[in-house]
Structure 1
Amino acid sequence: MTAIPASVDPLSGPPGPPPMAPARPDRYAWVVLAFLCFVYVLNFLDRQLLSILAKPIQDEMGITDGQIGLISGLYFAIFYCLVSIPVAWLADRTNRVRVLSLACALWSAATIACGLARTYPQLAVARMTVGLGEAGGVPPSYAIISDYFPRGTRGTALGLFNLGPPIGQALGVAFGASIAAAYSWRDAFIAIGGVGVVTALMVWIFVKEPKRGGLDAPSPGAATVAVEAPAPFLATCRMFFTRRVLLLVALACGATQFVTYASLNFTILFLMREKGMTLNEVALYYALLIGIATSVGMYVSGRLIDRFVTRTKKVYAWVPAIGLLCAVPLFVGFVRAPTWQMALLFLALPMGLNYFYLSPAVALVQEEVRPNQRVLAGALLLLVMNMIGLGLGPTYLGAASDWFRASFPDNSLQMAFYTLVPFYFLAVLLFIALSRAIAREEQAAA
């Protein structure tokens, strides 16, 4: 990064003009990306395993949709979101790879504990511990990737990294449902948690900590020293929440995740209970759908950003806004479909379009802050969007289903899904507001 003039507040805006950077990342950067993506796969697989196995868990423990929504939403998100801030502060000052490895070991051990739980309170505590561990997973990874990939390639790299959720969802559905069908839902938690513990050890051994801001500075010197100095915690938080662009992207993502997490945590239960799918059918057809459709959405959005961002940064807002608008009518078709086969056909495209927001949002935040602020800025982004989306989305949909059950005992989840449509339009409006804020910053810079 170039030296910052004394008249410019280093915490109040983006880090100046783009510096010269290597045209392509080296081979080891791709190895690291593969490791981090696999950790993200496990992160999301462990997170979604509860929703995948909700039906057999309900059958054994006798818990309601509202209770499922609480332990997969609010209870999980409280720990996941709030702990991510001190973890990010620690990672910005210590070895980010070590923080990631220890976090992976913790959430994997907690996943094993979910399989051993005998009561709802025990399951709730285990899920909260999963959230505690997963808080240290994604923000350090964002910063590590940004220090292995130069500007101009980060959208693609983060798009590939963000394949972790769809791959994790697909593998979770395939292996989790298959293990549960052949053995029990408890064995699925234990087996997948064990894989995570081994992966944590491999990350500790094989992934090297990169130099902070090494690809943002053209040469060593005073500017590099300034970049590597830890950013003040409170000042960085104040910068994030007072910069309109950063706050709007977090709120827009939160509104989007309200829909995506609510849907994600109840779609399998909806397909099994109200559309007639079996666990074996879920393991095959739904796993293929979620793996392919969401992966395409993540990757295509990242490529679109790298393709058009040289013309205008407003593409960070327009890509997700257009994707969400196109998804609405197909989502309604998915909810109305009379059979699970037709429901999956309607779901294929909106499942990909729903995830057009993540790669642009992460790339925008990582570009807009200094290298020594990236972990904390990524954690603040996750704090806002996950507290809204992950914390409130599943909690709301589960409570809505319980409320509709008195009047619609056979299709309460269907009625609850309909109520998600207004949140699509709220997210679109927030992305339009983000586009205008970006335009104003571009005009001011010009």
Structure 2
Amino acid sequence: MSTSPSEPDARYRYVVVAVLGFAYMLNFVDRQLLSILVEPVKQDLGLSDTQIGMLTGLMFALFYTFFGIPVAMIADRGNRTRLIAAACGIWSIFTALSGLATGFVSLALARIGVGIGEAGCSPPSYSIIADYFPAHKRGRALALYLLGVPAGSFVGAVAGAAIADAYGWRTAFVVIGLVGVLFAPLLLLIVREPVRGRFDAAAPSDAGPPRLMEALSYFWRSPIFIFTGLACGLTSFCSYGLLNWTPAFLSRVQGMSLGQISGYFGVLVAGSMVVAAWIGAMVADKAGARNPIWYALLPGLGMLLVVPFLFGFTMVDDWSLSLLLLVPPTMLTSIYLVPALALLQNRTPPQYRATVSATLLFLLNLLGLGCGPLFVGMVSDRLTPVYGTAGLAMALQWLTPFIILAFLCQAITAWLIRREALQGK
């Protein structure tokens, strides 16, 4: 695309966000589908909660995070649209292959393939969006893209559970995987590669492709970026630990059927995350634009409010009241990402953006997705022999110390931003 920054096609750039957001939705459906179908998969394959925690978290996250940085380097050097389309095809094929698993090892290998493929989705997408929108509109654009998370949660819970309820969990994996395989070439046809750094006046046009260590050091030299990454990682630790185990909690502890979970849980989570994305966009484009400390401090303060609702969610006996109490934690643990991404995109030169974003996602997913579900599963395996089904509820309550740590990291980030501003005066 050769459109100049002064003549952007406003309608088309939102088409780009919508198409990339749909790809992210498929990404999240494929990532979360196993969490929705924990109970039938566990019973069919004879898995423990620790193994489920590894499959929904660590086995996926290790490869997702470690492949994310080299894939982002490719995105910073080459055609980002082709990379995303190829990645979509790869993760979708391995999602379909998950339906053919015969045990822990074969399902783990399929999850590894999904993780490798999904590493090529978000960092290049962030970079493309930054080249279609000026800085003061990136928060809203990123929020629209991130609606793929609630949409994916909704589709995974409703469509995935409905297909599994009617035809079995294996069919759900195969059908949803094939949807992604068919969508990948359409993405390539619709999304045009934008001019890199088109809205950044200081973008060096003759700098050449960045070196890996040069791009990585740009992130690790910044205390603000480091504590932002730690805050995001700890927040996602709590978010993934809670939401990946909520369907199992609702089934095992609250006695909900798979059909009920698909009807209520998907709508609740999707609605909560849509509201969270809107709040995150407001934080990024309004409060954060006026004073950058709010990029970190508002999401951090929100984390403190999670604690009482988390205990209420896990302690009430009625499943409908339990779902109602899940709404605030779902929203408050989802606000952080848009402000964090806006902070990084606005402070990073165009030639580093995909790699810096991948470094953030490395911390976010290795700490959060990799360790959060595994931690809850391991604690549940320890407590269940003593406390029965209440062991899973107690394991979820053990997320509280990590909620406090996430707040502290956000507070330190805000302090660092404030100190930097005072030193610059």
Answer yes or no: same fold by TM over 0.5. yes
Alpha-carbon shift at residue 122 of structure 1 (Å)? 0.6
- Any idea what the Cα deviations from partners look like across 1:334-383, whole Å, max 9, x if unmatched? 01111211100101122111111110111111111100100000000000
Structure 2 counterpart of 1:303, one-letter code: M
The answer for the alignment partner of 2:291 in structure 1 is: 312
CA contact (8 A) 2:147 2:274 kept: yes
Select 2:220's aligned residue among 241, 246, 249. 241
Q: CA deviation at 1:22?
A: 5.7
Displacement of 1:407 in angstroms is: 1.0
Structure-2 residue corresponding to 1:100? 84
Which one-letter code corresponds to 1:241 in the other structure? W
Q: Distance in 1 between matches of 2:164 and 2:137?
A: 40
Counterpart of 1:159 in structure 2 is 143
Q: Once the two structures are superposed, what CA deviation does each residue of 1:236-268 show, in whole Å capped at 9, x if it has no partner?
A: 211211210111100000110110011121110
1:63 aligns with 2:69: no
CA distance in 1, matches of 2:289, 2:115: 37
Deviation at 1:224, TM superposition (A): 4.6
- Cα contact 1:25–1:150 (8 A) shared by 2: no
Separation in 1, partners of 2:238, 2:82:
33
- Is 1:427 matched with 2:411? no
Equivalent residue for 1:353, pick from 332, 351, 362? 332
**101-110 or 234-243, which deviates more:** 234-243
1:147 pairs, out of 131, 134, 140, with 131
After superposing the two structures, state which structure 1 stretch, 70-79 or 31-40, moved more.
70-79
**Aligned-residue offset at 1:149:** 0.7
- Equivalent residues in 2 for 1:6-25 (5 A)? none
**Distance in 1 of aligned mates of 2:136 and 2:89:** 33
Match of 2:240 among 254, 261, 265: 261
The Cα of 1:445 is off from its aligned counterpart by 2.4
Q: Which moved more, 1:269-278 or 1:316-325?
A: 316-325
Question: How many Å separate the matches in 2 of 1:264 and 1:252?
Answer: 18
Alignment of 1:13-412 (within 5 A): 26-217=10-201, 224-226=204-206, 229-412=208-391
Q: Quote the offset at 1:328 in angstroms.
A: 1.8
The verdict on how the C-alpha distance between 1:377 and 1:25 changes in structure 2, with shifts beyond 3 A counting, is: farther
Moved more, 61-70 or 307-316: 307-316
Seen in structure 2, the aligned counterparts of structure 1 residues 231 and 444 have a Cα distance that, compared at 3 Å, is farther
Q: What is the root-mean-square deviation of aligned Cα atoms in Å? A: 1.5
Q: CA deviation at 1:111?
A: 0.2
Q: Distance in 2 between matches of 1:24 and 1:340?
A: 49
Query: Which structure 2 segments of 5+ residues have no match?
Result: none
Q: Deviation at 1:413?
A: 0.4
Task: Please state how far the C-alpha of 1:217 moved relative to its aligned partner.
Answer: 2.5
Contact residue 95 and residue 209 of structure 1 kept, 8 A: yes
Give me the whole-angstrom Cα distance separating, in 2, the residues matched to 1:399 and 1:369. Answer: 38
Matched to 1:151, the amino acid is A
CA contact 1:24–1:150 (8 Å) conserved in 2? no
2:116 counterpart letter in structure 1: L
Q: Do the aligned residues in 1 keep the contact of 2:300 with 2:410 (CA within 8 Å)?
A: yes
User: Equivalent residue of 1:169, what SS?
Assistant: helix
Structure-1-length-normalised TM-score = 0.92
Residue 61 of structure 2 aligns with an amino acid whose one-letter code is A
C-alpha distance in 2 between matches for 1:29 and 1:269: 39
Shift of 1:204: 1.1
SS at match of 1:344: helix
Alpha-carbon distance in 2 for matches of 1:165, 1:25: 26
In the aligned structure 1, how far is the partner of 2:78 from the partner of 2:92?
22
TM-score (normalizing by structure 2): 0.97
Does the 8 Å CA contact 2:234/2:368 hold for their aligned counterparts? yes
- Contact 1:110–1:126 under 8 Å retained in 2: yes
**How much does 1:309 deviate?**
2.4
Q: Secondary structure at the match of 2:120?
A: coil
Question: Deviating runs (4+, > 3 A) in structure 1?
Answer: 21-25
**Residue 24 (structure 1) shift:** 7.9
Change (3 A) 1:346 1:97: same
Query: Separation in 2 of the partners of 1:331 and 1:356?
Result: 16
Deviations 1:76-123 (A, max 9, x none): 111000001110111111100011110000000000000111222111
Specify the code of the residue in structure 2 equivalent to 1:445: G
**Conservation of the 8 A alpha-carbon contact between 1:24 and 1:153:** no
**1:35-66 CA distances to partner (integer Å, 9 max, x unpaired)?**
00000000011000000000110121111111
CA contact (8 A) 2:310 2:397 kept: no
- Change over 3 Å in CA distance of 1:403–1:110 after alignment to 2: same
CA distance in 1, matches of 2:422, 2:80: 36
Please give the secondary structure, in 2, of the residue aligned with 1:313.
coil
2-side partners of 1:226 and 1:332: how far apart? 55
- The amino acid that maps onto 1:53 is L
SS at match of 1:116: coil
8 Å contact from structure 2 (residues 158, 263) kept in 1: yes
Q: Distance in 2 between matches of 1:292 and 1:22?
A: 36
Give deviations 1:378-434, integer Å, cap 9, x for gaps: 000000111111111111110110011221122110110110011111100000000
Number of positions where the alignment pairs a residue of Structure 1 with one of Structure 2: 422
1:112 partner letter:
A
Q: Which residue of 1 aligns with 2:394?
A: 415
Cα separation, 1, equivalents of 2:249 and 2:7: 47
Q: Residues of 1 paired with 2:336 and 2:342: CA distance?
A: 10
